[in-house]
A and B are shown apart, each in its own frame.
Chain A
Amino acid sequence: MKVIEVKGLVKSYGDFTAVAGIDLAIEAGEIFALLGPNGAGKTTTVEILAGFRSADSGTVSVLGFDPATKGDAGRAWRNRIGIVLQTASDSGSFKVHEIVKHFSNFYANPRDVDQVIEAVGLTAKRDSLVLELSGGQRRRLDVALGIIGNPELLFLDEPTTGFDPEARRAFWSLIRDLKAGGTTILLTTHYLDEAEELADRVAVITAGKIIEISTPALLGGRSTAKATVSWMGPGGNQSEESNNPTAVVAKLAAQFSDDIPELTITRPSLEDIYLKMIGRHHE
Chain B
Amino acid sequence: MNKVPGTIKLGLLRGQMEIIQFSRQKEAVVFTIFFPVILLAIFGSVFKDSLDSSTGVTFSQYFVAGMIASGLVNTGFQNIAINIPLERDMGAIKRLRGTPLPITSYFIGKAISVFASMAVQVLILLIIGAAFFGLNMPTEPSKWFTFTWILILGTASSTALGVAFSSVPKNGRGAAAIVSPVVIILQFFSGVFFVFTQLPGWMQQVAAIFPLKWLTQGMRSVFLPDSFAAQEVAQSWESGRTAIILLLWLIVGLFLAVKTFRWENK
- Chain A residues engaging chain B, CB cutoff 8 angstroms: 50-52, 75-76, 78-79, 81, 83, 85, 87-91, 93-94, 98, 102-103, 105-109, 145, 149
Q: What is the chain B residue whose CB lies nearest that of A145?
A: B95
Q: Which of chain B's residues has its CB closest to A146's CB?
A: B98
A79 in complex: contacting residue of B87, B92, B100, CB < 8 Å = B100
Write out the residue numbers on chain A whose beta carbons fall within 8 Å of the beta carbon of B10.
105-106
Q: Is B124 an interface residue (CB 8 A)?
A: no
| CB <8 Å contact, B87 and A90 | yes
Q: B30-50: which residues lie under 8 A (CB-CB) from chain A?
A: none
CB pair B95–A105 under 8 Å, yes or no, is: no
Question: Shortest 4 CB-CB distances between A and B: which pairs?
Answer: A88-B91, A90-B92, A83-B98, A90-B90
Total A-B pairs in contact (CB under 8 Å)? Answer: 73
**CB pair B97 A52 closer than 8 Å:** yes
Tell whether, in the assembled complex, residue A76 and residue B100 are in contact, meaning their CB atoms are under 8 Å apart.
Answer: yes
Does B101 lie at the interface of the complex (its beta carbon under 8 Å from any beta carbon of A)?
yes
A106 with B17: CB separation less than 8 A: no
CA distance A26 to B10 in the complex (A): 33
- Chain B window 116-129, contacts with chain A (Cβ cutoff 8 Å), 1 for yes, 0 for no: 00000000000000
Query: Given A52-B98, A105-B10, is A94 in contact with B2 using a C-beta cutoff of 8 Å?
Result: no
- Beyond A106-B10, A107-B4, whether A90 also contacts B98 by CB under 8 A is no
Residue B54 lies at the interface, judged by CB distance under 8 Å to chain A: no
A109 touches B1 (CB 8 A): yes
Across-interface contacts of A83 in B (CB, < 8 A)? 95, 98-99
Instruction: Provide 15 A-B residue pairs closer than 8 Å at the C-beta atoms, listed in order of the A residue.
Output: A52-B97, A75-B100, A78-B98, A83-B98, A85-B91, A85-B95, A88-B94, A89-B90, A90-B91, A93-B21, A94-B17, A106-B100, A108-B2, A108-B4, A108-B100
Which residue of B is nearest A148, CB measured? B99
Q: Looking at chain B's contact residues, is the secondary structure mostly helix, strand, loop, or mixed? A: loop
Q: Chain B 81-96, CB within 8 Å of chain A: the 1/0 string?
A: 0000001001110110
Which residue of chain B lies nearest to A71 when distances are taken between CB atoms in the complex? Answer: B102
List residues of chain A with CB within 8 A of the CB of B91.
85, 87-90
Query: In the complex, which residues of chain B have a beta carbon less than 8 angstroms from the beta carbon of A76?
Result: 4, 100
Check if B20 sits within 8 Å of A98, measured CB to CB.
yes
Q: How far is the CA of A109 from the CA of B94 in the complex (A)?
A: 22
> Counting CB contacts under 8 A, is B259 at the interface?
no
Inter-chain CA distance A3–B101, complex, in Å, is 23
A94 near B21 with CB under 8 A, answer yes
**Does residue B235 face the partner (Cβ distance < 8 Å to A)?**
no
Residues of B within 8 A of A105 (CB): 5, 10, 13
* Closest residue on chain B to residue A86 by CB atoms: B91
A163 to chain B, nearest CB (A): 18
- In the complex, A207→B1 CA distance in Å? 41
Do B95 and A90 have beta carbons less than 8 Å apart?
Answer: yes
Complex Cα gap A106–B10 (Å): 7
Contact B13 A85 (CB under 8 A): no
Neighbouring A residues of B1 by C-beta, 8 Å: 108-109
Instruction: Give the chain A neighbours of B53 by CB distance below 8 A.
Output: none
